[in-house]
Chains A and B, each alone.
Chain A
């Protein structure tokens, strides 16, 4: 069982207890949310990278050099 530690700043008393079922459930929910957030962020980053590559390809097709394309993004 995972522990929760509480330090009472007024008395200095330190208490240690097992997590409640509700706290464990909340932690598991937070874990699921964190993983969903990470997946969404990775998907967004992949989408941006794909759009950037497509844009650079179109610029190259118009006759811009690689140096000129790189300069546009600085």
Chain B
């Protein structure tokens, strides 16, 4: 159980942006939690929005479980250059945003890092989306930077918010 839950930095967009980066993340916490409420200009209800760390390369892979109101599917990725997250696309109900939590335990440890992503989309329709990712960063490098982008060159829209928290276990 976390003893502390401290806001490191937050960013709410006043205008659209292709990417949001949290850099120079202090190494003084045990875990990181990134909470995202985002909407992109992707012409769809949802947008699988990737994110990367300072590690780079193709050290990323994941398993996912998803449902959209009518079907449920699961799958895995091979090694790739980014992780997956989730945003609301611009054909969803106006002024709706995603609700995403990205949990990164032991982000400074010299070991491979399992990362979980829980994400749901909001829209006033039968078909909405929820996704759960179990991701693995195959790198012993400490995470000091995280960059989130929209998929397919989409942009995060005004009002999207990004909150980075640090958790200590003592």
Contacts and interface: CB of A to CB of B under 8 A. Distances in A.
Interface string A29-45: 01100110000000000
Contacts of A28: 153
Contacts of A23: 18
A16 B11 CA distance: 12
B17 A34 contact: no
Contact of A5 (B20, B50, B153): B20
Interface string B1-36: 000000011010101111111111110000000000
A62 interface: no
Contacts of B17: 2-5, 16
Contacts of B22: 7, 9
Contact of A3 (B9, B16, B25): B16
Interface residues of A, number: 22
A11 B155 contact: no
Interface residues of B, number: 24
A26 to B, nearest CB: 9
Contact of B152 (A4, A7, A10, A35): A35
A28 to B, nearest CB: 6
A64 B50 CA distance: 47
Contacts of B149: 27
B18 A7 contact: no
B147 to A, nearest CB: 8
A20 B73 CA distance: 37
A5 B9 CA distance: 13
24 contacts: A2-B18, A3-B15, A3-B17, A3-B18, A4-B17, A4-B18, A4-B19, A5-B17, A5-B21, A7-B11, A7-B21, A7-B22, A7-B23, A7-B164, A8-B23, A9-B23, A10-B24, A10-B26, A16-B17, A28-B153, A30-B50, A30-B152, A31-B152, A35-B152
Interface of B: 8-9, 11, 13, 15-26, 48, 50, 149, 151-153, 155, 164
